Amino acid sequence: MTTSPPGPTSPSPEVARVALRIRVDANVHDGPLDGAWWPQSRDLQREAADLVDHFPAAVGRVERLLFSRPDWDAVSGSPSMRRIQAERGPVKVGSFPSDDTHVMMVKVLSGRRLRLLVVPSDTEAGLAARLMEQAADDHNTQSPSTLLGLSTPDQSESAHTAWVDDAGQPA
Q: CB 25: neighbour CB atoms within 10 A? A: 21
Q: What is the pLDDT of residue 8?
A: 47
pLDDT by residue, tens only, the chain of 171 residues: 555 555 444 444 555 788 999 999 877 677 889 999 999 999 999 999 999 999 999 999 999 999 998 888 855 455 567 899 999 999 999 987 666 779 999 999 999 999 999 999 999 999 999 999 999 998 899 999 999 988 655 444 444 444 444 444 445
Q: CA torsion sign, 92 to 128 to 144 to 115?
A: positive
Global pTM?
A: 0.77
Q: Which of 20, 64, 23 is nearest to 46 (CA)?
A: 20
Q: Is residue 171 part of a domain?
A: no
Q: What is the pLDDT of residue 21?
A: 96
Q: Is residue 165 part of a domain?
A: no
Q: What is the pLDDT of residue 165?
A: 45
Q: Is residue 167 part of a domain?
A: no
Which structural domain range is residue 122 located in? 2-146
Cα separation, 163 vs 159, whole angstroms: 7
Q: Is residue 166 part of a domain?
A: no
Q: Is residue 160 part of a domain?
A: no
Number of domains in the chain: 1
Q: Is residue 127 part of a domain?
A: yes
